[in-house]
Amino acid sequence: MVNTMQFSLYGVFFVLSFVLGFLSAGLGMKKRGVPGRIILYSYLLNAAIILYLAVFFGVIASGFRKSVLDAGFSSMGGAIGLIIGSKIMAVIDKKDGRIIWQNYMCALPLMYSVAKLGCFSIGCCAGIPYEGPLSITYDNYLHKTGPLFPVQLIESIVFFAIYLVAVRMYEKKKFPKTVSLIMVLCGAGKFSLDFLRSEHMGKILSVNQMVCIVFIVAGFIALMLPVRTAEKK
């Protein structure tokens, strides 16, 4: 009974991350005049690429020790999938490409935040051994542990805060390069918190952190480039 509930919670949060993220991006695109059929096409394309890379990156992160069926879903792989899918859609639809790209990037930290609640519910991507406040112990079908740091919950809170800041800045046009800032904040947040994951123990840098460095560098480069006219409007 417990195992079924825990698995169901993971599935619920996994699906919910898609629903809330796509809803956030879709409402933003609709508000700015993107046709409904284009929004639907973007949903289908992004969902397919997210699922594919979430599994594929899980295999890579395991050092190819796990098969596609055993690796599970990687949140980092899913995030990369959303970025690639949104960029492809932006190239296909040149008229609304910038709007599509911006709204999905604003939704990225929300999707990651909700997905991490699923990880927290069953104990995957668990934290380092820790016996202080908010420590959590798992005893389920996945594994049995001692007290651990609730890194998944902290990730969820941090990325939800990034989402709120990003949407606020984008909607109010407070900053012309919101997407670039999102890349830097998400990369820095994930890079820092990965030190608190049990899988990081004994490593200098994890695969996740190497990807985060790319995010951060790309974001900083974009921040330093001149603001184009289209970004000022």
Structure tokens at 179: 């997407």
- In the chain, which ranges are continuous DSSP H helix? 2-31, 36-61, 68-71, 75-92, 97-122, 151-172, 178-193, 207-224, 229-232
State the pLDDT at residue 172: 79
Confidence of residue 175 (pLDDT cuts 50, 70, 90): low
Where do the domains of the chain lie?
2-232
Question: Mean pLDDT throughout 38-66?
Answer: 83
**By mean pLDDT, which of 42-51, 69-78, 111-120, 169-178 is the weakest?**
69-78
The pTM score is: 0.86
Q: Residue 29: CB partners within 8 Å, gap ≥ 6?
A: 38, 39, 42, 96, 99, 100, 103
Confidence of residue 14 (pLDDT cuts 50, 70, 90): confident
DSSP 93: -
Displacement of CA 210 from its chain's centroid (Å): 15
The predicted-structure confidence for 71-105, as pLDDT tens digits, reads as follows 567 788 888 999 999 999 999 998 999 999 999 99
Question: Mean pLDDT throughout 102-124?
Answer: 92
Confidence of residue 64 (pLDDT cuts 50, 70, 90): low
Q: Between 172 and 151, where is the model more confident?
A: 151
State the pLDDT at residue 22: 97
